[in-house]
Chain A
Amino acid sequence: MRRLTNMTTTSDLAAGSRRPLAAGDLAQLYAAHRLPLVRLAILLVDDRASAEDVVQDAFASLAGRLHKLRDPDAALGYLRTSVVNGSRSALRRRRTARAYVPPAEAEPPGPDDRAVLAEEHREVLAGLDRLAPRQREVLVLRYWSGLSEAEIAEACGISRGAVKSTASRALDALEQILKGEGR
């Protein structure tokens, strides 16, 4: 499980100074967190191009308000929230666009490289696709990012209680989906 949280590199930034973050800090954040954030986004949106766009947008947004931040961990939290929100927006735009193309072209965007995954993993990921967006986000943040309930609550903009109940219900739903497919 990846720990996409307060990584060591962030604690090195602006260490102890409490000065506003600067361009150099952003460069360090970018170098340290771009890949894990793209991986997070790809688990939410399924295709690499969208995932990279979402992450680039998140960094661009952070760049615009960097001078307001003094805490690198808050910057990472901001990035994470932006990626979750951006991924949800990307899915929504994709869903809206899909509604206006001829049915023959309305196939979901192919998670191209899933094909090389083990059958076992493909089944679980397909089940994850069938959950509500919020449920999927909570499970990804919990079981891949390894975030605490409080961190997930912050990233998703919901209460800790909602995180707990959403995760529980999402696991139940996933289990039912997998059982329904005879697994």
Chain B
Amino acid sequence: MNTLESRLSEALNARAEQVQPADLGPGHVPATVSPVRRRLQVGAAIAAVAAVAAVAAVAVSVLDDDGETGPSPAPQPTVSDTSNPTTDATTDPTADPEPAPTTNPPEGDLGYLLPFDTTQYVEPGTTVRFGDGETAAITGGELVVTGSGSVLRGPLEGIDPQDDVSITRVSLGQVGNGYLLAQTPGGDSQIQELYVAGDGGGLVLAQPPGDVPFGFGYAEGFPDGYLTWTAGDGSGLFTRVQLGDPAGNRWRVYRWEVTGPGEGGGPELLARDLVPTDLGVVCFGSGNPPRSVTPC
């Protein structure tokens, strides 16, 4: 351990030691919830929702009869649904880390998940040019994006500026474009980070939530691996998490969006957080990258 590391360790230790057992407030062990009780709670919740839905259906029916208004389409999950800063649902540590169940398989054409982008890795300093003339490059330890008369810069956090990197652009709605950087530090590991425009006019790293993995790898709770990719046309950013036997090629797929200015209709959010939407379980065809995807 060098001098700086020793100084850091000692400072952290000194700060932590300031908290002694007697300083803590009266804690209490949280109550546990047994599986049976949990099921009953879920059942009661479902019943309550059904009752509310029934009442709502009656109300809508009455409105229709009066010719005042028709039923609104069911709300779809959006960034604003999950990005309310007062609830902070995406990173709430009390949220159940298991993905919420969704309608499976997903309905409709799944073609938007393909093709997987196959952007090549380039050496540091190489300028990557996108279709509309915008460019991106790793320069001086920063990601630098130039286009439409503006230059955005942001410091890299996990990406090594001295190593080869791939830069993929993805459209993220109100937040604008995101830039997915990938790097392979060794073996089969891979770093993937998404940078977006922050409030200060620079590029910042979008923070993933704790309950859905972002990037590539293996993690507790996701022992079968996960992978993040952009659709080939840059219209979507997705992560797939393998389910069960790898031979089954079944994956739970999430679409990513990013919180940002104006989201939620309230005060502008300052944070740039990745927000997953669970799209359901799909089966990819074999091959890497896969060339087909079907509901399963």
Contact = CB atoms under 8 A, between A and B. Distances in A.
A132 interface: yes
Contact of B157 (A120, A143, A157, A169): A169
B189 A159 contact: yes
Interface stretch (A6-14, A58-66, A102-110): A58-66
A88 interface: yes
B4 A89 contact: no
A27 B29 CA distance: 6
Interface residues of A, number: 82
Interface in B176-221: 183, 185-186, 189-191, 193, 205, 207-210, 213-217, 219-220
B88 interface: yes
Given A117-B15, A144-B16, A132 B31 contact: no
| Size bin of chain B's contact surface | 35 or more
A154 B32 CA distance: 24
Given A120-B11, A162-B191, A61 B93 contact: yes
Contact of B15 (A81, A114, A132, A161): A114
Interface stretch (B61-69, B145-153, B265-273, B286-294): B265-273
What secondary structure prevails in chain B residues at the interface with A?
loop
Most chain B CB neighbours (cut-off 10 Å) among A116, A159, A169: A159
Contacts of A174: 4, 8
B109 interface: no
Contact of A26 (B9, B19, B30): B30
Contacts of B245: none
B205 A93 contact: no
Nearest to B92: A89
A143 B9 contact: yes
A139 B13 CA distance: 12
Nearest to A113: B18
Contact of B96 (A64, A124, A178): A64
B7 A92 contact: no
6 contacts: A2-B13, A38-B19, A39-B19, A74-B220, A125-B12, A133-B207
